[in-house]
Structure 1
């Protein structure tokens, strides 16, 4: 019979992933060694290999775990009681809160997954698509006319564009933290969503002029 996992095994794995994500985000996956990860975790290299077989396993686990959390957020928010707007507000708030503590993981997800093998990269991308689809469904409930115009997904991607890159300009000691930003993002998106029109029906703004 194999040995059981010791108490705190999962916590240690999580701590290792967090340290590896920080290194991958700051200096890149290719430039990071297992020795550096072990040193950042305060572990021997032999102990590190007890948790993860190699650097590739770390990269995949960082990306997969992060996307799995996003999937869970989307699922749980969809099951909350309330109106369609309430559900979308919850969804956006939870997303912003998650990114507040996962900036390194998000950077790895957006910039370093290119180093994954095709099958593993496809798994991550499929999970990301499921998260986007969950948001797009919420948008389509609020504006079914935009769904008919195939705009739910593009609008969802605009929302992710707002949230995904907040960490590039938000200061850790700034006046606004992620908790304060969440309702601002939500109000901006929902307010703008109500104003969106099918571009096919927009009035022409550029008139032809004679040469």
Structure 2
């Protein structure tokens, strides 16, 4: 007889992913074992296999949930009717807010994505590319000349992400107000340079 799925199956999978992200972020994906993951989750090693067949499957789900969720949250922002500067400010702030509480997932993305098979990496990187492309379009709308120089456009876009990632990694306990203030600073630097501060 087939084993039935518990009512809280998806909730427990979510708890496993959160706990596993913490282990992968602190110990590294290669060094983490299923026994360590089970211990962090507060369940038996045998029970963790009821939810995931392998450590690789857990890693993929962590990154798929994180990156697809981030892409969806940002790329579906309601921006219609806003002027280009307001759109940029809305997007930059939303990215920094979306990072909140995702410290472990963010580290795992940077350090362990390459451990997955190529096809899975391609899918996850497609989420990243879509988010970058969307943000790049928002930035270019503020400075149309960027549309004619793709290298400069990419440089500006990745510089914005670099500033946001720096803040996120070094200010994990920042309040909402501190995040909003830094997002505004990033936009001011991007739109007006130092003279505009």
TM-score w.r.t. structure 2 length? 0.88
Distance 2:35 2:3 in 1: 26
* 1:1-211 mapped onto 2 (5 Å cutoff): 5-79=5-79, 82-150=82-150, 151-170=152-171, 172=173, 177-195=174-192
Return the offset for 1:20: 0.4
Distance in 1 (CA, whole Å) between partners of 2:60 and 2:131 is 18
Q: Is the 8 A contact 1:100 1:178 kept in 2?
A: no
User: Matched residue pairs, number?
Assistant: 192
Task: Say which SS state the counterpart of residue 77 (structure 1) adopts.
Answer: coil
Report the alpha carbon displacement of residue 168 of structure 1 after superposing the two structures with TM.
3.5
157-166 or 15-24, larger mean C-alpha shift: 157-166
**Structure 2: gaps of 5 or more residues:** none
Contact 1:81 1:87 survives alignment (8 Å): no
Point out the structure with the larger helix share. Answer: 2
What RMSD over aligned residues (CA atoms) do the two structures have, in Å? 2.0
Please say which structure displays the higher CA radius of gyration.
Answer: 1
Q: Name the SS of the counterpart of 2:77 in structure 1.
A: helix
- Segments of 5+ residues of structure 1 without an aligned counterpart are 197-211
